[in-house]
Amino acid sequence: MKKLNLGTGALVGALLTAPLIAVMYLADQVAGLPFVPFDLFDWLTRVLPGPVITFGIDMMIDTMIFLGVSVADTAKIAEQVMAVLQFFVGGITAGIVFFSVVSMRKIKADTIAGLVMGALFGLPLIAISVAIGQSALSPILKIVWLALLFGAWGIALSQTYRRLAPAEAEPVAEAETAEAAAVERINRRQFLIRLGATTAAITVVGAGVGTILAQAERRRLEQVLAETEAHQTEVSEEMPFPNSNDPVMAVPGTRPEYTPIKDHYKVFIRTEPTLIDGPSWLLPLTGLVDNPLMLTLDDIKNNFESRDQYVTLSCISGRVGTGLIGTTLWTGVSLQDVLAEVGVRPEARYLHITCGDGFYETVDLELIAADERIMLCYAWDGHDLPADHGYPLRIWIPDRYGMKQPRWITGMEVMEEYTEGYWVERNWDEVAQVKTTSVIDTVAINAIIGEGDQKRVPVGGIAFAGARGISKVEVRVDGGPWQEAILRSPLSETTWVVWRYEWPFEAGEHTFEVRCAEGDGTPQIEEKQANRPSGATGIHSVEETI
Ligand SMILES: Nc1nc2c(c(=O)[nH]1)N[C@H]1C(S)=C(S)[C@@H](COP(=O)(O)O)O[C@H]1N2
Ligand SMILES: [Mo]
């Protein structure tokens, strides 16, 4: 009997939790109500110890590399799927617990029992969702909505138990004939089928309509982006790239030197990007300052001198050759100018930055004082920051990995004490200076140059050394001598450099390797090192049959 209860509990838990997820999803798309599976996942990634999280991320990335899918595109989707599965398994577990406890303890499966189970399952989740969730609606509204949902879920669980389990929970009446038992079994089966059909219908409709709405929203955003890009082409015609006269051209198949915004990698701690309402956003600048300030986005745009900088940004968690790197034009104001406005007190040592998604980092005031380029950035590619990339404000710190550069900034406090940043607390490098790297993007067998004995195969890619520049890139084939590549002048001293090398054609299977040196001649680290804790090093190589 007990075994039957477990299996039935799991089945009923699954049948009831699927529509619960679908209804939450639909309500999220329609009204911006909380989607609890994402909130739970985000909360877990925040509270679980760093090594557990990084282990999880590593496993996910290894799996994606193994499956041959793009890490930059797929990571978020994988996380979202895991978040939904995790919640679903939670619901199944709750079903098992309810069925076994009620049957073992001979508890009456009434509305009260259902509400108690709904509360046990729902209340912690509601607390998490209200505390850290993305939904901008009033907490009361969220609590009422989720309480109704989880309450209904609990009552449905209890009612289903009652409908299914009399024969399991209570001893079979002696007078009951075998026939009656058989009829009861058929009734139960029919009930389960009806329940399954109903919950499946709710799930399909909820998830389906939710998806249609989500796609409509995505199309709307893409259209905005397309208009933005059309605009961008006009601008670029007027304002050519600073290196547009350089005769050294990228080998076909090299990644674009200027990354289209839609292809720029995205990494953030939550399951979904953080949405901030720009017009009502205020940046408090507080702490050890003479005049604390509240800045609007317009204040930042209008009251300080703006600056443009072509910047390559990369993520410390990428492996050698990673796609977690991109280049665009950053526009903003010097952080030095903003701090001068508030008047930093002499005892102050650090700037503590907090963000809309719960992320935080600390910047040394000495670093800010030494580098006027450190920027509060409000535009990428000539337009307001995309929501995904930190609207309305993010910081740029030259020569550092992305983990040191908060987006969706909501607060800045000048302090005397040092506090570790979000990823530093999770055992990543405290300084996170970009590790010099060079990558082969293409061995262009379709773009062979020359004829006969003179045939050459163009090989191309990028090299990046943070703000230290690249002075040399070298390629070798099959372990032969290192040969110097030609460098295209970069968009700026803080972007990657596009390089090309023309290799004398030779049929067969070959291994191509690349290495580079920084502006001052310092060679890149050739020794293979994992991404954690300080950024990956090692030589990038590709094999190609020609
Ligand atoms: N608020 C906030 N800022 C953040 C992060 C984040 O999760 N939250 N991630 C950081 C990391 S690890 C990287 S690599 C960059 C990525 O910026 P992008 O997604 O715009 O490319 O943002 C950084 N700033
Ligand atoms: Mo990152």
**515 CB near ligand 1 (under 6 Å):** no
Query: For the residues 331-352, what does the mean pLDDT come to?
Result: 98
Give me the residues near ligand 2 (ion), CB cutoff below 5 Å.
267, 315, 402-403
Cα separation, 134 vs 120, whole angstroms = 23
Region for residue 408 given its phi and psi (left: phi exceeds 0; alpha: psi -120 to 50; beta: otherwise):
left
pLDDT of 234 strictly over 50? no
What does the pLDDT read at residue 343?
A: 97
**315 CB near ligand 1 (under 6 Å):** yes
Half-sphere CA count of 441, side-chain side, radius 13 A: 18
pLDDT of 397 strictly over 80? yes
What does the pLDDT read at residue 180?
A: 79
More confident residue, 268 or 229: 268
Pocket test for ligand 1, best of 394, 407, 427, 531 (most atoms within 8 A of CB): 407
Domain positions in the chain = 6-216, 261-415, 437-545
Region for residue 452 given its phi and psi (left: phi exceeds 0; alpha: psi -120 to 50; beta: otherwise):
left
What does the pLDDT read at residue 215?
A: 86
pLDDT of 303 strictly over 90? yes
Pocket test for ligand 1, best of 57, 266, 268 (most atoms within 8 A of CB): 268
**517 CB near ligand 1 (under 6 Å):** no
Scan for tokens 């030095």, then name that residue.
336
pLDDT of 444 strictly over 90? yes
More confident residue, 272 or 54: 272
Considering only CA atoms, which residue is closest to atom 9 of ligand 1? 268
Cα separation, 115 vs 126, whole angstroms = 15
Q: Tell me the pLDDT tens digit for each residue of 463-478.
A: 999 999 999 999 999 9
Scan for tokens 């003479």, then name that residue.
290
What does the pLDDT read at residue 221?
A: 66
Cα separation, 177 vs 183, whole angstroms = 10
Ligand 2 centroid vs 41 CA: distance in angstroms?
19
Q: How large a percentage of the chain has pLDDT more than 90? A: 73
More confident residue, 67 or 543: 543
In DSSP terms, 307 is beta-bridged to 332
In DSSP terms, 500 is beta-bridged to 460, 486
Q: Please, what's the b/e burial string for 101-136 (b: 16 or more CB within 10 A of its CB; e: otherwise)? A: ebbeeebebeeebbbebbeebbeebbebbbebbbbe
Q: Tell me the pLDDT tens digit for each residue of 316-338.
A: 999 999 999 999 999 999 999 99
**Beta carbons of 462 and 438 less than 8 angstroms apart:** yes
**Beta carbons of 310 and 244 less than 8 angstroms apart:** no
Query: Cα–Cα distances in Å, from 212 out to 83, 100, 113, 217, 226?
Result: 21, 39, 37, 9, 21
Minimum-distance ligand 1 atom for the alpha carbon of 390 = 20
Q: How large a percentage of the chain has pLDDT more than 70? A: 93
Considering only CA atoms, which residue is closest to atom 13 of ligand 1? 402
What does the pLDDT read at residue 231?
A: 46
Cα separation, 374 vs 364, whole angstroms = 12
pLDDT of 6 strictly over 90? no
Nearest Cα to 337, choosing from 283, 380, 375? Answer: 375
**Which residues lie below 8 Å from residue 498, measured CB to CB, with a gap of 6+?**
248, 250, 254, 257, 460, 461, 462, 487, 488, 490
Ligand 1 centroid vs 347 CA: distance in angstroms?
30
Q: Tell me the pLDDT tens digit for each residue of 270-288.
A: 888 888 889 999 999 999 9
- β-pairing, 437-443 vs 394-396, is unpaired
Query: For the residues 118-123, what does the mean pLDDT come to?
Result: 97
pLDDT of 227 strictly over 70? no
pLDDT of 134 strictly over 80? no
Give me Rg for the CA atoms of the chain. 29
What does the pLDDT read at residue 173?
A: 52
What does the pLDDT read at residue 235?
A: 47
What does the pLDDT read at residue 286?
A: 97
Ligand 2 centroid vs 72 CA: distance in angstroms?
11
What does the pLDDT read at residue 228?
A: 52
Region for residue 81 given its phi and psi (left: phi exceeds 0; alpha: psi -120 to 50; beta: otherwise):
alpha
Q: Tell me the pLDDT tens digit for each residue of 487-538.
A: 999 999 999 999 999 999 888 999 999 999 999 999 999 999 999 899 999 9
Superfamily of domain 261-415 in the CATH hierarchy: Oxidoreductase, molybdopterin-binding domain (3.90.420.10)
Cα separation, 348 vs 345, whole angstroms = 6
Cα separation, 156 vs 414, whole angstroms = 53
Angle at 193 between CA 154 and CA 119, to 5 degrees: 5
If you average pLDDT over every residue of the chain, what do you get? 91
Ligand 1 centroid vs 486 CA: distance in angstroms?
33
Tokens linked to 389:
């990339």
Tokens linked to 172:
């079979």
Q: What size, in residues, is the chain?
A: 546
Task: Specify the CATH number of the domain 437-545.
Answer: 2.60.40.650
**Beta carbons of 58 and 426 less than 8 angstroms apart:** no
pLDDT of 375 strictly over 70? yes
pLDDT of 238 strictly over 70? no
Task: Please indicate, yes or no, whether the overall pTM of this predicted structure exceeds 0.75.
Answer: yes
Query: For the residues 249-254, what does the mean pLDDT come to?
Result: 96
**Which residues lie below 8 Å from residue 456, measured CB to CB, with a gap of 6+?**
448, 449, 450, 502, 503, 504, 505
Tell me the three-class secondary structure of 35-62, residue by residue.
Answer: CHHHHHHHHHHHHCCHHHHHHHHHHHHH
Q: Which of 6-10, 71-75, 415-419 has the lowest mean pLDDT?
A: 71-75
What does the pLDDT read at residue 1?
A: 45
pLDDT of 351 strictly over 80? yes
Angle at 274 between CA 272 and CA 280, to 5 degrees: 155
Considering only CA atoms, which residue is closest to atom 12 of ligand 1? 403
Q: Tell me the pLDDT tens digit for each residue of 207-226.
A: 999 999 988 877 776 666 56
Considering only CA atoms, which residue is closest to atom 10 of ligand 1? 403
Nearest Cα to 64, choosing from 75, 76, 53? Answer: 75
Cα separation, 41 vs 63, whole angstroms = 19
- β-pairing, 409-415 vs 283-287, is parallel
Cα separation, 450 vs 494, whole angstroms = 35
